[in-house]
Amino acid sequence: MNSFLAYFRLMRAGWVMAREGVVASLPVEGLRGPAKLGHRLATLIARRNVQRADRAERLTRAVERLGPSYVKLGQFLATRPDVVGSALAQDLSLLQDRMDTFSQESARERIVGSLGREIDDLFIEFGEPIAAASIAQVHPAVTSDGNGTRKVAVKVVRPGIRKRFYRDLDAFYLVARLAERLAPATRRLRPVDVARTLEQTTKIEMDFRLEAAALSELTENTRDDPGFRVPQVDWERTGRDVVTMEWIDGIKIADIKALEAAGHDLGHLSEVLIQSFLRHTLRDGFFHADMHQGNLFVDESGTIVAVDMGIVGRLGKKERRFLAEILYGFIRRDYKRVAEVHFEAGYVPAHHDRASFAQAIRAIGEPIHGQSAETISMAKLLTLLFEVTDLFDMQTRPELIMLQKTMVVVEGVSRLLNPHFNMWKASEPVVGDWIARNLGPARVVTDIKDGLHAAARLAEQAPEIAARAERFSEELDAMSRDGLRFDEETAQSIGKAEARHSRSGRIALWVIALTAIYIAFQF
């Protein structure tokens, strides 16, 4: 039944995309056979009044018709240009996550259900919603803590959003599985893993306790950082469906005229923004992954305040070293070292020729060195790098793609503040300090300390590892003596899987028939 509904929802989504002209706006180059025929049919199906709209407008209309789950899917795919391509990712990044508000009564019910306390016990005042997105909406409120009152922002989950998301998720997984089965070239991008990542990130985003924890962690990391902070969390009034944080009175960072009128130094703000992002990335390995203009404010003191931490990124020590070494290699024009770093990290398969890969890296680096420092974009460099590595079968690294996408956004905001922004000069203090601490002699000391800790943990686990090895040896002996046997439950599972496979064709025919009926009644 679930498979049937997934097919039906997929067909409906395809119909909406075709009617709104999204499919017709996709490039036709390289399409063959059924794909080319499908594109022609979609062009015929498209409504006449969408032909004058650009692709971003068509996407917006289609997503609005399909609902909040598809808004979230579009936003997620905007961070994955490796999957949908740079042009389409750019269009998706323009999607506005603005939805109709839901009633204050529903918001109150969600808060009481999540916190187990009445609204009057939690807030002195609780206002009407001021903004609504696909997952939640925000209310202004006032609290009292015995030392006076303070204004707070209360973010409340949208009723029914989890049920709707998981319902639509079946269709997303279906598309991913079909892509892997019918288009072998997409397997390098691991579509099912992409769907799984979407599921995981959205699960986290819909649990506001985790967003509060992210705010708390970033607060600790940036306590001594100049010019940057995030809102304080009110843990007493935070739960799974609601998060309460300090109200930010500030100017949106995109409002250049207001910033200038308030006397803020735009050049200084642009430097603080990029340095803060790089500091979080390299030093902490934990960064705000949704730092667009709408989530950044400048308070009265000139401090940048970042809000809405539903999406965050993490980089391990290996990934941070990889990032720093490739940036350092490009600065020194050491393309051989940049290539070696990719192979050492295991990102490029060992069967490729390192010299050829270094040649491809040089094709990126040399044009950049011919430009003035003000026009060199670190984000563009990473974008070109990932495009080249695609030619060498580099496996998709979601954490690096998210980093690259966030860097594009942050660098764009910095250049909005200061069109003559020198990315390399602003980055040098942070990147240079990290390289000195982690890629020089200090790296050897750190690696020795990490090795000793790992050895100590291994020694603690030695008895358990030995016991597991003994059990595994005994099981191998038993299999070699008695042969491999399936228990009854495993055999039944295999039989059911085969039965599902044989029914898939019949289900597809039923879906097509019912979708045709649905279309007839809708249009």
**Active-site positions?**
290
Extract the tokens encoding 479: 């299999």
Alpha helices in 295-353 (DSSP H): 317-332, 335-344
Q: How many helices (H) and strands (E) does the chain have?
A: 22, 11
DSSP string, 201-252: HHHHHT-HHHHHHHHHHHHHHTTT-TTEE-PPB-GGG--SSEEEEE----EE
Rounded distance between C-alpha atoms, residue 145 and residue 235, angstroms: 13
Contacts of 318 (CB under 8 A, 6+ apart): 345
Lookup result for tokens 């902490």: 284
The CA-atom distances, in angstroms, between 32 and each of 10, 186, 242 are 22, 16, 49
**CA 48 – CA 67 distance, rounded (Å):** 23
* Residue 156 to residue 153: CA distance in whole angstroms: 10
- Spatial separation of the C-alpha atoms in residues 121 and 253, rounded to whole Å: 35
Rg (CA), the chain: 26
Residue of 378, 413, 405 whose CA lies nearest to 272: 413
Rounded Cα distance between 12 and 18, Å, is 10
For 108-112, which contacts have Cβ atoms below 8 Å and span 24 or more sequence positions? 109/159, 110/156, 110/157, 110/159, 110/241, 110/242, 111/154, 111/156, 111/241, 111/242
For residue 440, CA distances in Å to 315, 343, 345, 346, 496 come to: 20, 20, 18, 22, 58
| 463-to-452, 453, 469, 472 alpha-carbon distances in Å | 19, 18, 10, 14
Ramachandran assignment for 376, one of left (phi > 0), alpha (psi -120 to 50 degrees), beta (any other):
beta
Lookup result for tokens 């898939």: 504
Count Cβ neighbours within 10 Å for each residue of 359-380 and write b for 16 or more, e otherwise.
Answer: ebbeebbeebeeeeeeebbbbb
Neighbours of 354 (CB within 10 A): 14
Phi/psi at 280 (nearest 5 deg)? -65, -40
